[in-house]
Amino acid sequence: MPIITTPQEFNEDDLFVDLREMYGYPLYLKCEGFNFAGSVKLKAAASMIEAAERSGQLVRDSILVESSSGNLGMALSVIAAAKGYRFVCVVDSRTNRSTQQVIEALGSEVHVITEPSAAGGFLAARLNHVRELCSTDSRYVWLNQHANPDNWKAHYRTTAPAIEKQFPDLELLFIGAGTTGTLMGCARYFKEQPGSKVIVVGVDSVGSVTFGASPGPRMIPGLGAGVRPALFDRSFVDDLVLVPEIDTIRTCHTLARGGFLFGGSTGTVVNGAVKWLAEHRPGQEVTAVAISPDLGDRYLDTIYRADWVQDIYGLDEIQLSARPDAVASGVH
């Protein structure tokens, strides 16, 4: 049993769920939600904070500030509490209320942006607010998860090697795109391994501009962006899939009916992976892994609340419980 003194010291890195029985495809889901921040973002948060401390950018009287759809804000608030830093998390009105409450419970401050920017949506509006704060007080330190290389380096050092250790014969890797830190770190790692033939597939939400598609409305926080992340480098990714949010919702409910309560980002990645396998590897035995960024407890007021789903997507309980055709429209 591990004994720790700070929350960022613990992360379960070796847990995978076999989804073959549920979906009929050989797909293993790497679960990144079992730590004190509840998501994969704890790795990036720790990496960026430690690098800022080493460089002298982050000192005792600094005030951390970051734009987040939720999970990175949670992770930074956990570490800020442990290290004694002030932290201001800039979210928007789509961020789950329970996530905001946890951030505040840990002693951090939450600024909620209620109006999207005409160009770049809520993300651009959040970033503008961060820049305004930094211009008013030199104590503010913005780690900038969308452009900070210590974001992807965290996954290059930890997430990718953990997958390789468990699956040395890995053929396919499916990763969601938010800041693209996880995607870029893992893709870079496998592309740089001698003799590696791993196919890396990026998965994103319809309405996100990261893969070059047109912007559109998105209601589920996590994956997707209204501004293309500076970290994203298409040359490291072999294929791309876009998933409509309706399919994300259905996949989350399918997983829940099997006893696995995952977050919206996980639903998107699993749906994208199953679609890709159905189209490109039908009936084939392959070794495929998808990364689950978080668990579903913070989505109880949205994805798992019937009236919210009905109001936003027009789906009722019967439609959600029906298992959809695995092969749905995606973008490649």
- Cα dihedral sign, 222-271-259-9: negative
Specify whether the backbone of 24 is left (phi greater than 0), alpha (psi in -120 to 50) or beta: left
* pTM reported for the whole predicted model: 0.92
- Distance CA(13)–CA(166), nearest Å, equals 10
Order across the sheet with 109-113: list the strands: 109-113, 86-92, 63-67, 140-142
pLDDT tens per residue across span 272-307: 999 999 999 998 999 999 999 999 998 999 999 999
Compare 149 and 93 and report the one with higher pLDDT. Answer: 149
From 12-16, 148-152, 199-203, 214-218, the region with the lowest mean pLDDT? 214-218
Neighbour-count burial of 259, counting CB atoms closer than 10 A to its CB (0-12 exposed, 13-18 middle, 19+ buried): exposed
> Which domains does the chain carry?
7-40+149-321 (3.40.50.1100), 41-142 (3.40.50.1100)
Interatomic CA distance for residues 159 and 114, integer angstroms: 34
**pLDDT over threshold 90, residue 225:** no
Q: What's residue 186's pLDDT?
A: 98
- Give the number of residues written for the chain: 332
Query: For position 236, what pLDDT does the model report?
Result: 97
d(C-alpha 67, C-alpha 214), whole Å: 22
13 has a pLDDT exceeding 80: yes
How confident is the model over 299-322, as pLDDT tens digits? 999 999 999 999 888 866 656 665
| Structure token digits, residue 220 | 């589920």
**Average of pLDDT values for 49-71?**
95
Sign of CA dihedral 102, 229, 43, 137: negative
Q: Residue 204: its pLDDT value, please?
A: 96
The proportion of the chain whose per-residue pLDDT surpasses 90, expressed as a percent, equals 80
How far is Cα 157 from Cα 46, in angstroms, rounded to an integer? 12
Which residues, including other chains, have CB under 8 Å from residue 243's CB and lie 6 or more apart?
A: 203, 204, 205, 206, 268, 271, 272, 275, 330
CA gyration radius, the chain:
19
Percentages of the chain per state (helix, strand, coil), in multiples of 5: 40, 15, 40
pLDDT at 1 over 90: no
Specify the pLDDT at position 248.
95
- Which whole-number Å values give the CA distances from 108 to 73, 76, 80, in the listed order? 9, 9, 8
Asked if 290 and 176 count as a contact pair (C-beta separation under 8 A), the reply is: no
- Mean pLDDT check: name the lowest of 138-142, 257-261, 327-331: 327-331
Q: Is the per-residue pLDDT at 107 higher than 70?
A: yes
pLDDT greater than 80 at residue 330: no
> What pLDDT is recorded for position 319?
63
Average pLDDT, the chain: 92
pLDDT of amino acid 241:
97
- Is the per-residue pLDDT at 88 higher than 60? yes
What separation in angstroms does the CA of 55 have from each of 19, 45, 51, 98, 156? Answer: 43, 16, 6, 34, 20
* Model pLDDT for residues 110-150, shown as the tens digit of each residue: 999 999 888 888 889 999 999 999 999 999 999 999 999 99
Q: What pLDDT is stored for residue 322 in this prediction?
A: 55
**Structure tokens, 308:** 């919210």
17-38 pLDDT, tens digit per residue, is: 999 999 998 999 999 999 999 9
The answer to whether the beta carbons of residues 145 and 179 sit under 8 Å apart is: yes
pLDDT of residue 119: 82
